[in-house]
Structure 1
């Protein structure tokens, strides 16, 4: 059973998400809030596996709330769920530890997939968002001088295979997708991810994406 909290200032949105999630027996909504401050009060008594977090809310918005949640409850996953896909929100959420970013008009299957990915420690981005992230981080299939500089810097710390895995993580791919692309087992991919994070002294895939962004 996966425990979920929903944070959105619009009751109709919260009700819609609860209806969608109620179709899945493995998902249990244990709380809802209208803004970040209400969420933090809820978390004092009970922590879910994952929070579905709106971005634009009064009192405390989703970016600020994500930062507070990850500082106080690092084991709680946060998925940013919004109609807005501006870069400032994407990178703000990722910077503070969000595990995923999907749009509110995503299908129920996409929302469930995102929740499962977050709980498995994967970073999952909506395809539209992923495209913007890859462009902003200098897509690895474009051999620009700037990108080569990033690779050269990574080469000081990582093996060629680890760099390949890091590139695919940067694209928002899950361990399963990476294993398929590189013809490796998921267990091997997990080991590579652990080695990459250890070598770069990072704690999560999200931190890795932000790290690569700033390279």
Structure 2
């Protein structure tokens, strides 16, 4: 997997390059200090995954993620930050981020996130997941919203597709979903693709936001 590291701190970029170079499946093909530098680099070379810092000068990680996803929808973006705040989680997901982990995550977690994003699975660090769930519980919504949401989905998706959606909303990977629903991973991937097509969405992150804001 080809990876680009985007962070305005050289010590962070160097540390990540050193750690990730220990994994034979990962190849660091470039780095940038902000979103604008990243976009210039992408004109020459396209990676599989981008590790993206949030707070950067010139163009921050949220703006850069949005720009990348608009022009290079197949490139996966993992937001990597020391901050665990609601606005970054929501804005990152809304702009198409494929993962959200903390900078102090260990190497195993970072590699796991890169592989998951590359395979099309949305992976959030456990601390981020807890924060997201807590924040979503505090979002006010109309008393009739859940009923309307369920009714709409039942008209669009098959019962099996709704089961897959429920698993995705629990943050489960394709592998875990396949074991839970007694399906092959390939079948689960096909279900996910069909669900996104039917709902006119581009990614799992968009699906989560769509269902929570419905």
TM-score in terms of structure 2 length: 0.90
Matched position secondary structure for 2:79: strand
CA shift digits 1:60-115 (9 cap, x unpaired): 10000111111122221110000112111111111111111011111111111111
Larger deviation: 30-39 or 193-202?
A: 193-202
Shift in Å, 1:160: 2.7
Matched position secondary structure for 2:108: helix
- Partners of 2:122 and 2:105 lie apart in 1 by 16
CA shift digits 1:168-212 (9 cap, x unpaired): 212322100111222222122122212211221222222211211
Tell me, yes or no, if structure 1 residue 9 matches structure 2 residue 12. Answer: no
Larger deviation: 123-132 or 110-119?
A: 123-132
Show the counterpart of 2:108: 109
- Partners of 2:84 and 2:144 lie apart in 1 by 28
Quickly say closer, same or farther: Cα 1:181–1:148, change in 2 above 3 A: farther
Show the counterpart of 2:96: 97
Quickly say closer, same or farther: Cα 1:115–1:86, change in 2 above 3 A: same
Show the counterpart of 2:28: 29
- Partners of 2:70 and 2:192 lie apart in 1 by 23
Where does the alignment leave 5 or more consecutive residues of structure 2 unmatched? 138-142
Show the counterpart of 1:202: 201
Tell me, yes or no, if structure 1 residue 80 matches structure 2 residue 79. Answer: yes
Matched position secondary structure for 1:78: strand
Show the counterpart of 1:193: 192
Show the counterpart of 1:65: 64
Equivalent pairs, count: 210
Shift in Å, 1:146: 5.1
- Partners of 1:85 and 1:163 lie apart in 2 by 30
Show the counterpart of 1:123: 122
Matched position secondary structure for 2:5: strand
Matched position secondary structure for 2:30: strand
Show the counterpart of 2:140: none
Shift in Å, 1:24: 0.3
Matched position secondary structure for 2:183: coil
Where does the alignment leave 5 or more consecutive residues of structure 1 unmatched? 139-143
Show the counterpart of 1:141: none
What is the aligned-residue RMSD (CA, Å)?
A: 1.9
